[in-house]
Chain A
Amino acid sequence: MNRRELLGVLAAAVAGSAPGRLSADGLLARGRTAHRRARGRALQVFDPHQAETVAAMAEMIIPATDTPGARAAQVPEFIDLLVAESASDEERASFLRGLGDVDTRSRDAFGVEFVAASEAQRVAILAGLDAEVQALRQAGEKAEEHFFQRLKWLTVYGYCTSEIGATAGLRYETLPGSYDGCAEVRASRAAPGDF
């Protein structure tokens, strides 16, 4: 089924249901506004400095290349939402401690806060944090609770489920229309199991 045929089927299905008077495209757009409040909201937890630190780190994890990066995908806003509304008090405090510790490391090593450090200095700090996570993994210990692993998970999840990340970065398809269980890999397409 190609996309045109599929939309025809969807339109017919909606027309066939008594309360449905939406077109197929209207159907796909349904809900697009319902959750817009999730975007563009004011930060709830991070102060401007913390937000900039998170944004700088997230952009280093998923940088803008030929497609947009974490900052353009509003990953810091998503992380703020989860830290504010989903995390427990303890998890929130732990995350903010970890964030503060990034500045401590930066000051100890380079005499400036993370956001004021040079690109090479920032890379050194992230590489150190990432090495700690990998060391925990290799030792069979819980890496998930390490601040940098939390940030990395949140950044990857927030980017890939954002409109920019999913569509520009991963070519997410709402309506595949058919199933091929042994298709050739094409570059930069999301693995279906992920959505």
Chain B
Amino acid sequence: MAVPTFDAIVVGSGITGGWAAKELCERGLRTLVLEAGRPIDPARDYVEHVPPWEMKFRGLGDRKALERDQFIQRHCYACNEYSGKFFVNDRDNPYTFDPAKPFHWIRGRQVGGRSIMWGRQVYRWSDLDFEANARDGLGVDWPIRYADLAPWYDFVEQFIGISGEALGLPQLPDGKFLPPMALNCAETVVKEAIAKRFGGERVLTIGRCAVLSVAHGGRAACHYCGPCERGCITHSYFNSIGVTLPAARATGRLTLRPYSVVHSVMYDEKRDRAAGVRVVDAQTREPLEFRARVIFLCASTLESTRILLNSKSPRFPNGLANSSGELGRNLMDHVMGGGAGGIIPGMEDRTVHGRRPNGVYVPRFRNVTTAHSDFLRGYGFQGGASQAGWRRVDSLPGFGRALKEALGTPGPWRFGFYGFGECLPRPTNFVELDPNTVDAWGIPALRIHCEWSDNERKLLHDMSVTAAEMLEAAGAREVEPFVEQNPPGLTIHEMGTARMGRDPKTSVLNAHNQTHDVKNLFVTDGACMASSACQNPSITYMALTARAAAYAVDAMKRREL
């Protein structure tokens, strides 16, 4: 039987796979999207409006099943009784690490990937970030600058819809924003206090998020039911199922194949090109092959790198497109969990109505205009204010009628700042294939070597200090600074391992996410990142993907590919 042949193959159907599919299809290519997991039917699988009493464990989850099947995934807040089905089974999807250096790899295998349960926060990078490696002499310099990506940020944001407030800050460029969501009373108090005390150096704003504040592109505005990670029947937040994949499908050029676990990329040594991909059918275990003129790996940072490491040939014995030896190296994740909490007094007669799927943001203010003596780079804060209602009541003294009445009354306004900091690129944080472990489909698993350095630990400590300063400026009571010890991976901003760069000797990808070694092979997910900045990275992956797809199609038209 002839091997099925397409113009393009996209591996993965999540945040970047959906964008690659849309752009390649709309630019005329017959495109095959291979997704390792099952199809998702929103009408059947989304559960955002199922009330707690319909769930067997009322949302607490089946603890024994989680401990048996999702012993890694359960560390993610969104892997709960409702949304746990969007996270992988850890027994089927093993990876290994030194127990003294844990890495929590949080994964989603289904059509839509992790775009179903992502955090939806959207922050552009600036030249402070793209120039960081060159300035500090760490890693390799980015082969692009903000000006290269700015039009693609515009393009992506206008299509998916981002709500947010323009601030005019050079370190956090404004985007194409829909109206911002509202702050609550206590957040307004803290915002004003920060403005007064820190005179523009520190700024609090509503989160910039991929949730529609008004109808946009045929999708309805958010109805504030709250738990986006369970899906959204009105497609009011961005995921690939509701936004990019339908656009790709509308061209008539999309073929989406679920249950397709990619084993490796085939390399044609004579023509020096990627020829296609080898696939294991997830249901039948049948080995399959698909061919195409151009291949986009959008399988997620570590899955794309794993596929390349497993694509061995005489020319590339250590993994496809790895002549530099950099494939697998420089793994990063944002360091999270320094911050502070406190009570904002007053406003007892006020509460919120609706469950806003968004918090506040304090853009990076360290090492922006003046150099800090203790650490490189910086961090931003997410967080917000809320009042506990019945969830605080078990901690109140007493029982009976008075306790019951407290269930329906809001408690004090509690405010929390939670920091996300930049992780430096280091070759000692790396992944390789584990020679002794395979997954449920017989594909070699990764062994992950990753740990924080002093710079990340210093960022965490500084977060706890500056967060407490801001709360104290706002007159907060019971201010408690904290420093959590979270393993890398858990922030789910893992990136790097196939970095972009100018020099083929020291980087895997060029300025267009094209591998230096194999011209018709592109990697556009988080694997491409040469540094991590401190902003949530998904919008940057989307912009890079759209840009790379346009470049690839243009190059094909010029017969360069």
Contacts and interface: CB of A to CB of B under 8 A. Distances in A.
Interface in B310-343: none
B233 A13 contact: yes
A60 B185 CA distance: 36
Interface string B54-83: 111111101110000000000000000000
B201 interface: no
Interface residues of A, number: 76
Interface string A176-187: 111111111101
Interface string B65-109: 000000000000000000000000000000000000000000000
A183 B351 contact: yes
A116 interface: no
Contacts of A190: 389-390, 407-408
Contacts of B224: 176-179
Interface stretch (B393-401, B482-490, B510-518): B393-401
Nearest to A38: B56
A26 to B, nearest CB: 10
A185 B409 contact: yes
Contacts of A39: 53
Given A85-B64, A191-B351, A181 B58 contact: no
A37 B56 CA distance: 8
Interface in B27-59: 41-44, 47, 49-59
Interface string B348-362: 111111111000000
A164 to B, nearest CB: 8
B169 interface: no
Interface in B369-403: 386-391, 393-395, 397-401, 403
Nearest to A24: B233
A176 B223 contact: yes
A126 to B, nearest CB: 6
**Chain B contact residues (Cβ within 8 angstroms of A): what range?**
35 or more
Contact of B52 (A27, A166, A169): A166
Contact of A17 (B42, B220, B355): B42
B404 interface: yes
Contact of A34 (B54, B188, B393, B411): B54
Interface stretch (B5-13, B176-184, B295-303, B431-439): B176-184
Contacts, number: 220
A99 interface: no
B225 interface: yes
Contacts of B225: 174-176
A192 interface: yes
A22 B58 contact: no
Q: Which of A6, A169, A181, A195 has the most chain B CB atoms inside 10 A of its CB?
A: A181
Q: Which of B53, B55, B411 has the most chain A CB atoms inside 10 A of its CB?
A: B53
B44 A19 contact: yes
B349 A194 contact: no
A167 to B, nearest CB: 8
Given A13-B233, A187-B408, 4 more contacts: A19-B42, A35-B55, A162-B53, A185-B410
Interface of A: 1, 6, 9-10, 12-14, 17, 19-22, 27-28, 30-32, 34-35, 37-39, 60-63, 65, 69, 78, 81-82, 85-86, 126, 130, 133-134, 137, 149, 152-153, 155-163, 166, 169-172, 174-185, 187-195
11 contacts: A13-B220, A30-B43, A62-B403, A133-B397, A149-B394, A152-B394, A162-B58, A181-B356, A182-B347, A184-B349, A184-B351
